[in-house]
Chain A
Amino acid sequence: MTINEIQDLIIEEFAQFGDWMERYEYLIDLGRSLPPFDERHKTPEYLIEGCQSKVWLFPTFENGIITFTAESDALITSGIVALLVRVFSGRTPSEIVEANIYFIEKIGLRENLSPTRSNGLLAMMKQMRLYALAYKSKQEHS
């Protein structure tokens, strides 16, 4: 599946929810079911500090594919982290760099990625792209 196909799938999943409460309950579930983040990687290097919530993001790069694991100290933020990981993890650097992310807005969570929210999510997305760019240039120069 392409990044856009996954985004469309998420949009479809969210379309079945009647109101915001169901959407948020789903996010809480997603946050809870996120695989536990390796405690050893909970270091300043992998911490994205927002004013409201924190996000840890750890990348690995193998056989041309980037895998992300991530977690937040807030559960709803973790739920959105889970969605971002689902979209961005297991991709090539080029796919990530070129991705156009539209699903957040479509599922009514745009305010969560607003620069004024400072919950770590926008910074997390930027960081994922930065990792992808770094791996991409590494690929091109090796």
Chain B
Amino acid sequence: MKLAKSIEEIRSDFPILSTKAHGKPLIYLDNGATTQKPLQVISVMEELYRTTNANVHRGVHYLSDRVSERYESARETVRAFINARDREEIIFTAGTTASINAVAFSFGERFVGEGDEILISGMEHHANIVPWQMLCERKKAILKVIPFSDEGVLDLDAYRRLLTERTRIVAITHVSNVLGTVNPVKEIVTEAHQHGIPVLVDGAQGIQHGIVDVQDLDCEFYVFSGHKVYGPNGIGVLYGKADLLNDLPPYQGGGDMVANVTFEKTTYNVLPFKFEAGTTNFTGAIGLAAALDYLSSLGRKAVAEREQALLARATAGLSAIEGLRIYGTALQKVSVISFLPGAIHQYDAGMILDKMGIAVRTGTHCAQPLMERYGISGTIRASIAFYNTEEEIEALVKGVRKVTEMFA
């Protein structure tokens, strides 16, 4: 598969990539934290504020109608992008964290009680740990954790054993933000469904690297953030199967989510509005749709293939450095590569790389239990996007080599 544009054309779509950092050309390899935005997104958002700003769903007037239409059309774009059955199954939220918190609250209120179990994995981001811990504390439920191997592969036998009649929900990351592992989500869902247990998939690191088909995965919930998929920040998605969403109480009360309000009794609006209290981030939603359109126009498969090629190059280059260890060597991986060069502290390495213009992330990556699993205090993480180049990967490898010399 070939990308619809040349890499030069693609890079010129992302003005920020021509930034100089400390006088050097910026090499942005922190895409797992946030991705850069193409002009196609930036200009849509600017145009919205210039020409089409009004509150959605509230007016009879011209502008409100126009922006409401575009907001709903953004919902349709998201639906098509993840192949959800129905538009009403797409709830706009503030991001992955907000989506998970919403499910933990609403699902928890409805289905979780004392002694029940919530099953997550050992490679979760804090955003898919803490909301469940809070739920467990509220309901006196128990949090169970699926272990994983040194390579960063989930132990599916252990998973099967951990599914009990008390398990109320499985919440699992699609892709590990540290290890890059792509979890066998479909298999996990099938297994859970055999016990009648619903599954939430944290797609924060999955949505941008390939094709996500929620009907094929058959998960009950799939959540992700706009800013990690080349869209604006402050917008995210909660996909949920309509039947289940209809069955859950709302997690926030306010305007737009209601049908009738009296001081005695309020009835709630239908999906998706039941879960969208208050003025939503409609500019963000429309910007996100522009980002998804941009990815689709490049060719999602081609994007994934390019990233795999860059990952292979980075893995080969870094592996050749003596004493360097890569954390996460699963066969199914996205273009996220965590490593430590010998005994060199990740923060030391990150500071030197920064001075070379190379942006990587260092630290625990909001996954402290995972670090504990490996007995380390953090890693250096290079997360690669399709707009990165072979030369940038070479520069990273050369930079890490230089770091190992400086600290030798």
State the A residues within 8 Å of B (CB).
Answer: 20-21, 24-25, 28, 51-54, 73-77, 112, 119
Contacts and interface: CB of A to CB of B under 8 A. Distances in A.
Contacts of A25: 406
Contact of A77 (B22, B347, B378, B407): B347
A75 B363 contact: no
Interface stretch (B28-36, B75-83, B146-154, B348-356): B348-356
Q: Which secondary structure dominates chain A's binding surface?
A: helix
Contact of A24 (B344, B352, B377): B352
B347 A76 contact: yes
Contacts of B344: 75
B205 interface: no
A21 B345 contact: no
B364 interface: yes
Given A52-B362, A52-B363, A73-B377, A21 B355 contact: yes
Contacts of B352: 24, 76
A54 B378 CA distance: 12
A73 B406 contact: no
B202 to A, nearest CB: 22
Interface of B: 22, 344-345, 347-348, 350-352, 355, 362-364, 377-378, 406-407
Contacts of B407: 28, 75
21 contacts: A20-B355, A24-B352, A25-B406, A28-B406, A51-B364, A52-B347, A52-B350, A52-B362, A52-B378, A53-B345, A54-B377, A73-B345, A73-B377, A75-B345, A75-B407, A76-B347, A76-B351, A76-B352, A77-B347, A112-B351, A119-B347
B348 A76 contact: yes
Contacts of A21: 355
Given A25-B406, A51-B363, A51-B364, A75 B355 contact: no
Given A25-B406, A74-B345, A112-B351, 10 more contacts: A20-B22, A24-B351, A51-B364, A52-B347, A52-B362, A52-B363, A73-B345, A74-B347, A74-B348, A119-B347
Contacts of B378: 52
Contacts of B345: 53, 73-75
